[in-house]
């Protein structure tokens, strides 16, 4: 990932076709490194390709990946949520009333 990031930074900086030296220079500037064979592989895979098209294609692929929190709750999930909240509130209020304040308040 860091090699691709360095490649993209070089392109954004105006270098249309970054080489191994440009990528190595960017990586060393931030204290990172990469093996030469990995850099060569990335360069060979990206050679002659349009970055905008590759990014657009990747965006389409990643948009089909389900993200956490996007799924509908399980059956009974909506009904169970208020009960869980009430139980948590009841538990916290019983802890407070059991002498948990120690004589001072956060807002005093």
- Report pLDDT digits (tens) over 20-49: 999 999 999 999 999 999 999 999 999 999
Q: Is residue 38 part of a domain?
A: yes
Residue 41 belongs to domain with CATH number: 1.10.10.1410
Residue range of the domain that includes 24: 2-62
Q: Is residue 84 part of a domain?
A: no
pLDDT of residue 30: 93
Q: Is residue 48 part of a domain?
A: yes
Higher-confidence residue of 9 and 92: namely: 9
Q: Is residue 21 part of a domain?
A: yes
Model confidence over 44-98: pLDDT tens digits? 999 999 999 999 999 999 988 888 765 555 555 555 566 666 666 665 555 555 5
What does the DSSP assignment read for 19-87? -HHHHHHHHHHTT----HHHHHHHHHHHTT--HHHHHHHHHHHHHTS--TT-SPPPTTHHHHHHHHHHH
Count of domains observed in the chain? 1
Instruction: Tell me the C-alpha distance between 30 and 4, whole Å.
Output: 14
Q: Is residue 17 part of a domain?
A: yes
Average confidence (pLDDT) over 96-108: 59
pLDDT of residue 64: 87
pLDDT of residue 90: 61
Q: Is residue 7 part of a domain?
A: yes
Contact 3, 46 (CB under 8 A): no
pLDDT of residue 67: 83
Q: Is residue 102 part of a domain?
A: no
Comparing CA positions, the residue from 68, 15, 59, 30 lying closest to residue 2 is 30
Q: Is residue 47 part of a domain?
A: yes
Query: What is the Cα Rg of the chain in Å?
Result: 27
């Amino acid at each position: 990932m860091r090699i691709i990031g360095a490649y993209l930074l070089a392109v954004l900086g105006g270098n249309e076709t970054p080489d191994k030296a440009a990528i190595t220079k960017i990586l060393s500037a931030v204290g990172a490194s990469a093996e030469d064979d990995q850099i060569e592989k990335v360069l060979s895979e990206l050679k002659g390709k349009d970055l905008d098209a590759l990014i657009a294609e990747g965006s389409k692929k990643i948009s089909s990946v389900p993200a956490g929190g996007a799924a509908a709750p399980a059956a009974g999930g909506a009904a169970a949520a208020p009960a869980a909240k009430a139980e948590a509130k009841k538990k916290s209020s019983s802890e407070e009333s059991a002498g948990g304040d120690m004589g001072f308040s956060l807002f005093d």
